[in-house]
Chains A and B, each alone.
Chain A
Amino acid sequence: MYLTRFSLIGLIFLIVLSLGTAALAFTAPKAEGLDVDMVYSDPFAYKGEIKVRGAVASLEPEKNRFLVIDYREYVACQGVACPAKWATVSYSGQLPPSGKIVEVKGTIEKDEGAKGGFVIKASEVKVK
């Protein structure tokens, strides 16, 4: 009886573990938010605070800025080298490492010096 109960708990544990592992295998790295390519075409169409997901392409620590490329393009191209469009993120906190997937919460602001003429003024940056 004890053996059966023990086996049952063990089996449930193994099922949960295997399903969890399988789920992680096809969802990682997961991030939520608007994609960079979507925002880039018409950035000022987005009002108020938005959430953008992307991969960190490069850092500009002296300006407290970093560049993000489209999440899906990063996944498809398996790197940060190929995209022609990216968004500049201005963030006063610690900059995320290059090559990481991030979720950026912030507002769109005009900046003629940045690619596409805008920056995302971030209030929160989550490294995934």
Chain B
Amino acid sequence: MTRGKLVFKNLTRKKSRFLFTILGIAVGIASLVTLLSLGTGLEAEVKKQSQALGAELVVTPKGWCAYEQISVLTGESLPEAIPNEDVEKVAGITGITAVPYLVQRTAIKNQPVTVVGILPEPMKQFKNWQIDRGEYRLDRESVVVGSSIAQQFELKAGDKLTIRGTGFILRGILKEMGNRDDLVIYLDLATAQKLYGVGDKVSFIAVKVDDVTQMDRYSQEIQERANVAVVSDKQLIRSVLAIMGTVRNTLQMIAAVAVLAAAFGIINTMLTAIHERKREIGILQALGARRRTIFSLFLYESALYGLLGGVLGLAAGFALSFFAAPYIEQSEFTAFLGSAQSVKMFSPAVVGQAMLFAVVVACLAGIYPAWKASRLSPVEAISYE
């Protein structure tokens, strides 16, 4: 009988014990996989939204908290605190392209929709937008919308929209961009400022730089010229991920504890198995099996528990992520992004991490029982009844 066959035969000798030990590790791995899937998906979503902004620097009012920084990426309505005067000062710096955003909200059929006040031509160039239907025209009476909004509310060029009690004509629908730009109604900046009663202020300014190696210099110059704060796109991502990371690390700790509990289950199972198989160990020793062989036999058994439990846990974890996705939108974990679509259902990195974790924990749990089995004396083992 080969070593592999012997290990598998021993494992499945007591079927209920085998099943329960596997389930123990599977539950731990399932919770770990679920949390890793959520975390990976959210990180990808944050990076995607940051890329969609198309800016290397974001100029914000001083004193913005983390929630407001996140809202730059998520399209939530933002306080308006940068005056046009500062926008012009920033735009006047050589080597940068600056476009202001005034981010507000309205509703269509009682569904909230983001409204962004922009400078029409600079923004079109900044974002490389193309028109899909109608024309690109923004003025006191005209708006354009993203493709998803048009699809969701069955809008077409020429339709009338009411924003804060004022009627507008929908002039055009933008080509799909695959990001949050598709979910927005765009207004001319001056019209939006008047409509929302914010004076001459904007929410933030997105900045593209000509030379990315001079980012610090540009950042310093912007802050010297205007009374504003500047964050780089990378800092923005780091800031968002730091908040999410605090929550995620806590949840992963809980999952790790579940796996640890399963590891103790493996130790218990293996010790019981050694006790029951003392005689068999003695026979193996009498047949010439070395301590190393016996040690490896029990360690393989333990690793196999980890492998099988890991596979089962992965399947359960991905299933749990799939079913949990529609319900996590309002959780603390995702409240920042407000998007259930951000849950990543399958990721090779998550599979790798979870399987490695399952096998390593199972191997570690198997070391002591395997060592104990290998230390049995042949006389003690054979004389066991």
Contact = CB atoms under 8 A, between A and B. Distances in A.
* A complexed with B: yes
A42 B104 contact: yes
Interface in A59-94: 71-73, 75-77, 82, 84-85
B104 A76 contact: no
A42 B163 contact: yes
Q: Which 10 A-B pairs have the closest CB atoms?
A: A41-B105, A45-B107, A76-B67, A38-B112, A42-B106, A72-B335, A75-B335, A41-B104, A27-B331, A41-B77
Contacts of A18: 27, 31, 258
B66 A47 contact: no
Interface residues of A, number: 41
A45 B164 CA distance: 7
B76 interface: yes
Interface of B: 16, 20, 23, 27, 31, 65-67, 70, 76-77, 79, 104-108, 110, 112, 115, 162-165, 196, 243, 247, 251, 254-255, 258, 320, 324, 327-328, 330-333, 335-336, 338
B106 A75 contact: no
A29 B333 CA distance: 11
A85 B78 CA distance: 10
Contacts of A35: 112
Contacts, number: 108
A38 to B, nearest CB: 4
A76 B66 contact: yes
B110 A46 contact: yes
Contacts of A46: 107, 110
Main secondary structure of the interface of A (DSSP, over half): helix
Contact of A72 (B27, B79, B320, B338): B338
